[in-house]
Structure 1
Amino acid sequence: MSDRFAERLLAWYDKHGRHDLPWHHNRNAYRVWVSEIMLQQTQVTTVIPYFLAFMERFPSVRELAGAPVDDVLGHWSGLGYYARARNLQKAAIRVVEDHGGEFPVDQEALEGLPGIGRSTAAAIIAQAHDKRAAILDGNVKRVLARYHAIPGWPGQTSTLTRLWQYAEAHTPDERVRDYTQAIMDLGAMVCTRSRPVCERCPLNEDCIAFRRGETHLYPGPKTKKEKPEKTTWMVILEDENGRIMLERRPPTGIWGGLWSLPELDPAYGPEELREACEQTLGLDCGEPDLISGFRHTFSHYHLHIQPARLPVAKGILIQDRPDRRWVHRDEALGLGLPAPIRTLLTRPGQTTLL
């Protein structure tokens, strides 16, 4: 082992760490990879049911590579950051086409796959193969920033470089699989973002931030910017057969590739929605019913969503297109929908405002 940091951490992990996570069973590079991608920006308790359902539907990289993209996005719906799901399938296709369906063990080759960065590649190598590779996810950054009192936001190049140096230095030559899980567990369970339980930490004896009483200062915060506010109409258009219209979002950007409700310019007033639907969508609609609106927050702005329900006039021939589809609600829920849209379509007792 490189130093007593790893030794003490592993001793703690043997007693207190998480040893029975779903991706620990039948462990291989595919299962580790999917779990690592899901765990980006998402907590373990949230990921577990998604991971289990995903593995049941896509038990191998070949199954994932050959699946319809709507199926993949449907099993990702609710996890957010949907570029992860699109890159997941792109990488699966590359693994099948370029590597014969077997994940490469080489770090550089793994980093060449869509959506796999340095830390994720290292996690696959360490977790799936028990080979030495240093990881640096959000939990690890927090542990190392406090232990060494590294100032600055981890997104800054100079701060990140120092964190990687320490991540490499502390990673042991043995029990790497356990070590990587241990340091992630420590960050998630003990060295938490707020109210860390320092008295239970196996590293507190040498932790500089703890000794100084300054754990709250590390890692340094990102400079906050006020998030802009945006507004949109989302229309629930229903035809005489009880079907609603969905539109596929562009492949990049917010909710990229997912199915969502048609949106209309917020400049339209409620009394102009019928005209807007005719001008924008080519549909003759009845009077709108406004439904209680809500706000959804993205990483870089707040979106105020004002839904409206409009019946489509009978007898109109409505054709599907690659980016537009008429479906019954139960069919819609099987597609890749953004979480707010899924909630809107399923919430009971929708409140009509008009």
Structure 2
Amino acid sequence: MVTEPAVFVLEDGHRYVGKAYGARGRTFGEAVFATGMTGYQETLTDPSYAGQIVMMTAPHIGNTGTNDEDLESAKIWVAGFVVRDPSRVVSNHRAIRSLDDDLVEGEVVGISGIDTRAVTRHIRSAGAMRAGIFSGADFALSPDAQLDLVRQGAEMTGLNLSSTVSTAVRYTVPAVGERIGSVAVLDLGVKKSTLNYLADRGFDVEVLPESSTTAEVLALEPSALFYSNGPGDPEASEGHVQVLQDVLRAGVPYFGICFGNQLLGRALGFGTYKLPFGHRGINQPVLDRTTGRVEITSQNHGFAVDAPREGVIESPAGFGRVEVSHVSLNDDVVEGIRCLDINAFSVQYHPEAAAGPHDSMYLFDRFREMVLTGRLDISTATLETESK
């Protein structure tokens, strides 16, 4: 088998030569690493990864191939894909294609055969940064020319990508079983499994473009509002923050995940900041302070909320008392916010976790109970239900 060369170039000048994988050509994005040993198809099709070159830290990728059931959206969103050892064969009864087939069809430029452990250690030390992958004719460019192209790329700080990944038109996912109400979902990069889990809880799910206004949201008379995960810098989403503040003042309950957690933080008057290398993977430990339970969570975020971790604090934007409900056990980053005077809460991770783990699925039930009862109540009865 003929192999073609490729090179992975970081903006600080580090270069890693390997083999072309997927489509050939050039691609640019923020270099990040994901620590999951499985779930690569969900990662690739998660809109939150738009604008990022994702490197898998697990050495063997592609063993189980790909299928149509595990897609989280209609396309692959990563800007590029980096692996050490792509599987030479596919071995799974659900597989209908190889991962390489999907990368080629999706025109995703990748690279294999590099020391991903070394790159991970470097990013953990130096931080996430701009990068590029060059293969095919672009591999022949001089190292200086390749580095110049990388450094011309956009930085994630200050970047708004919501319009790139959001739906262009409103659509509905009907409630499954007994209908309890409707939830307006602002699509900032939502995953298919999130919509399905909301529908499974009895909600008619009204999915809205990210450009939707306060008037358009309230015109639906929703039982609740949900902000999804998504890519980009929360500081560049002031329009979404304003809509959220307006809807909260109108008394509509709110639940947000990932990007939706950062936007709730900003709506409450707190700041956000960029993490050195972010949290990405399906093995991130989080403490739920409201229950004392430790959850292993699925995460993908490069920004975080800047709020006091201890005690109850007053929302700087006038929404009453707030507390940090969840924290990362790796680095004490804020992983969840709970409002005490309005019906609003959020988490920084992905409770839908289509590839697992499923420790955080109770959050959808907590959201359902909040809508049904009109209050966010972490009672003993609720804890017993969540522990089953």
Question: Which structure: greater helix fraction?
Answer: 1
Report which of the two structures shows the higher radius of gyration computed on alpha carbons: 1
- Shared fold per TM-score greater than 0.5: no
* TM-score w.r.t. length of structure 1: 0.28
More strand by share: 2
Higher relative contact order (CA 8 A, sep 6+): 1
